[in-house]
Amino acid sequence: MANRVALVTGGNGGIGTEICKQLAAAGYRVVTTCVDPEKEKIKEWQAARKAEGYDIGWVQCNVADFDACQAMAKQVEAEYGPVDVLVNCAGITRDGFLHKMDKSNWDAVIGINLTGAFNVTRQFIEGMRERGFGRIVNISSINGQTGQFGQTNYSTAKAGIHGFTMALAKEGARKNITANSIAPGYIETEMTAAIPEDVRQGIVNSLPGGRMGQPHDIARVVVFLVADDADFINGAMIPVNGAQFCSF
């Protein structure tokens, strides 16, 4: 995989960091986006990965901003080469019951979690079609499958991600481009740490295994889906939720 470039949006977050590490370990040249390099201390993050043995690049980009995504794509391709693997992992929550939700919290979640996937994928899809190869993985959520208290915005975005994935999968199938989504259950990161303690404890107690998942549980599925020979796994949504929600 030495020549394949993998771009991970939100690659410096909890799940994203593990995706970057596992892709780098599998031989991809990995680049992450970062919204605010100073605030997120991206150079320290990069140095920490380097100390662990992973060489990971970064580019500044707010995925909610189409023009910024266009500029970011030009920069990535100039510095690293064509992007063959794209993981849309950037995401936020702004939880609140609908009867209390500000429009700004609706717009922010849809703009980053759903429109962000369009804004970034749109930059790379033509190149993938021209080269006849592409692997796209979109990080959805169990809460897009089931709905969740306080998450009309997030559940909408994450369910939308799967519609986006299925349509894109059909469009790319004859060009050796796959698009799949992963629907993680509750995973231990800053995102779940932000849930009010009493509610979070209630969620953990309700989980079949009595514990949340870890970022590496998601990353291993990403590595599996982006392999060159994973070309017939297309348009799928892979749940990784410790049996919290089982369906067929």
- Which residues are at the interface with ligand CAA (CB under 6 A)? 93, 95-97, 141-143, 148-151, 154, 186, 191-192, 195-196, 199, 202-203
Quick check: 15 binds ligand NAP (CB under 6 A)?
yes
Measuring CA to CA, which residue among 232, 216, 123 is closest to residue 177?
Answer: 232
With beta carbons less than 8 A apart as the criterion, state whether 135 and 177 touch: yes
| Closer Cβ to ligand NAP, 141 or 180, answer by number | 141
Least CB distance to ligand CAA at residue 186 (A)? 5
Least CB distance to ligand CAA at residue 214 (A)? 13
CA distance 211 to 209: 5
Which of 4, 14, 119, 151 binds ligand NAP (CB under 6 A)? It is 14
- The site string for ligand NAP over 26-65 (x = CB under 6 A, - otherwise) reads -------xxx----x--------------------xxxx-
| Closer Cβ to ligand NAP, 167 or 194, answer by number | 194
Count of residues engaged in binding ligand NAP, rule: CB under 6 A: 29
Least CB distance to ligand NAP at residue 191 (A)? 4
Q: Phi and psi dihedrals of 101, rounded to 5?
A: -80, 130
| Closer Cβ to ligand NAP, 30 or 89, answer by number | 89
187: helix, strand or coil: strand
Annotation says 154 is catalytic: yes
CA distance 143 to 164: 16
Measuring CA to CA, which residue among 138, 4, 5 is closest to residue 63?
Answer: 138
| Closer Cβ to ligand CAA, 24 or 183, answer by number | 183
With beta carbons less than 8 A apart as the criterion, state whether 32 and 11 touch: yes
Q: Which of 28, 54, 154, 186 is catalytic?
A: 154
List CB contacts of 144: < 8 A, sequence separation 6 or more. 154, 155, 156, 157, 158, 159, 160, 161, 162, 183
Which of 70, 75, 156, 192 binds ligand NAP (CB under 6 A)? It is 192
| Closer Cβ to ligand CAA, 132 or 196, answer by number | 196
With beta carbons less than 8 A apart as the criterion, state whether 210 and 204 touch: yes
Least CB distance to ligand CAA at residue 144 (A)? 8
**Binder of residue 109, out of ligand CAA, ligand NAP, none (CB less than 5 to 8 A by kind):** none
Q: How far is CA 72 from CA 9, 60, 115, 116, 156, in A?
A: 11, 7, 16, 13, 27
Report, as residue numbers or ranges, the catalytic residues: 154
